[in-house]
Amino acid sequence: MDFIDEINIGNLLKNSVSMTFKNTGFGSYRVSSKIEEHYSSLRKAITEGIDLIDTSANYADGESEILIGRVLKDLISENIIRREDITLVTKAGYIQGQNYRRAIELKKEGKLYSDTVELQDRLWHCISPEFLDDQINRQLERLGTDYVDVYLLHNPEYYLESAKKDGMEIHESREIYYERIKKAFIHLEKKAEEGKIIYYGISSNTFPEYADDYSFTSLEEVINISKSISENNRFKFIQLPFNLIESGAVTVKNQINKTRTVLDLASESGLKVLINRPLNAITSKGLVRLSEFSTVPFSEKDFINQMKLVNQMEEEIINDKLPDTKSDELTIDKFKKNLKFGKTIEEDWKFYGSIENFNDIVNQNFAPKIAVITDTVKEEIKDEHLKEIFSGYTKEIYKLLNFVSNYYKLRAAKRSGFINSLINKKLDERYHGLTLSQKTVLLLNSVKGVNCVLVGMRNEKYVEDMIPVQGKDDVTNAEEIIKYVSMEIQNAET
pLDDT attached to residue 21: 56
pLDDT (average), residues 72-94: 97
Distance CA 458, CA 99 (A): 24
| Local confidence band at 157 (pLDDT 50, 70, 90 cut-offs) | very high
Strands, DSSP E only, in 172-253? 197-203, 235-241
Percent of the chain having pLDDT more than 90?
A: 82
pLDDT (average), residues 123-128: 98
Angle of the 478-493 helix axis to the 384-426 helix axis, nearest 10 = 120
**Tens of pLDDT along 17-46?**
555 556 899 999 999 999 999 999 999 999
pLDDT greater than 90 at residue 421:
yes
pLDDT greater than 70 at residue 182:
yes
Distance CA 341, CA 457 (A): 32
- For the chain, give the mean pLDDT: 92
Residue 123 contacts residue 94 (beta carbons within 8 Å): yes
| Local confidence band at 418 (pLDDT 50, 70, 90 cut-offs) | very high
**Tens of pLDDT along 278-294?**
999 988 778 899 999 98
Low-confidence winner among 35-49, 98-112, 383-397, 409-423 (lowest mean pLDDT): 383-397
pLDDT greater than 80 at residue 103:
yes
**Tens of pLDDT along 461-488?**
999 999 999 888 899 999 999 999 999 9
Residue 290 contacts residue 419 (beta carbons within 8 Å): yes
Low-confidence winner among 12-21, 132-141, 410-419, 448-457 (lowest mean pLDDT): 12-21
**Coil, helix or strand at residue 160:** helix
**Tens of pLDDT along 293-311?**
989 999 999 999 999 999 9
* Radius of gyration of the chain measured on its C-alpha atoms: 25
| Local confidence band at 312 (pLDDT 50, 70, 90 cut-offs) | very high
pLDDT greater than 50 at residue 349:
yes
- CB neighbour list of residue 195: distance below 8 Å, 6 or more residues apart: 3, 7, 11, 146, 147
- Spacing of C-alpha 104 from chain mean position: 26
Residue 246 contacts residue 284 (beta carbons within 8 Å): no
pLDDT greater than 80 at residue 9:
no
Residue 99 contacts residue 59 (beta carbons within 8 Å): no
Beta bridge partners of 256: none
pLDDT attached to residue 325: 63
Q: Which position has the higher pLDDT, 335 or 260? A: 260
pLDDT attached to residue 306: 97
Q: What is the DSSP string of 26-50?
A: EE-TT--TT-HHHHHHHHHHHHTT-
